[in-house]
A and B are shown apart, each in its own frame.
Chain A
């Protein structure tokens, strides 16, 4: 499993700017990916998903990009708002197996 110690990477963005959060996944057999948002004191919430037969998927203000060549996933949030402040993490699903979760990135939106 992954272990990055006690401190999460933090991304600070100005309100209204776009945010890009990155995730490196580990298993080339993973064929399904999810981005979650976790607000302080709450459980993770689904944001957007993507399957390995796609390289881009858009939702409302969010876009997920998948680069299978380098095993990289990114989450783009357009026009970031104060309510977007949270920890974001990706999850990969090797076909038929359980999800593996990344450690997360803390997004801080500055007024």
Chain B
């Protein structure tokens, strides 16, 4: 039982390049989330998927797209990376209404855009 896994762990991009961050969970959770974390700031929600087949914008969606590939996988795509997207990206999953209603987080992807 690996929980939430993310790939890659580290990535350096040049401005204008594209990439996809991968996330998978093995806890059979319906909801999945993408956050970014910048120094001294709380986690900010980029996109979320309440259930397979649905996605919705969060607080900071500009410059990103997502795909809920199936119940296990939720990917985040940067079509044309910008230095402002330098951040640590966390994926999380959750099963609402099950006792402790926490999100389970992956280890993060550290992205630098030059």
Contacts and interface: CB of A to CB of B under 8 A. Distances in A.
Interface of A: 1-8, 32, 34, 41-46, 49, 89, 93, 98-104
A6 B106 contact: no
A43 B106 contact: yes
Nearest to A99: B103
Given A43-B106, A49-B100, A99-B103, A4 B41 contact: yes
B7 to A, nearest CB: 14
B41 A49 contact: no
Contacts of B45: 98-99
Interface in B38-91: 39-45, 48, 58-59, 90
A106 B106 CA distance: 20
Interface of B: 4, 33, 35, 39-45, 48, 58-59, 90, 92, 100-108
Nearest to B102: A46
A45 B40 contact: no
Contact of A44 (B44, B48, B100, B105): B105
A6 B42 contact: no
Given A42-B107, A42-B108, A43-B108, A101 B102 contact: no
A7 to B, nearest CB: 6
Contacts of B108: 41-43
A93 B101 CA distance: 10
A15 B28 CA distance: 40
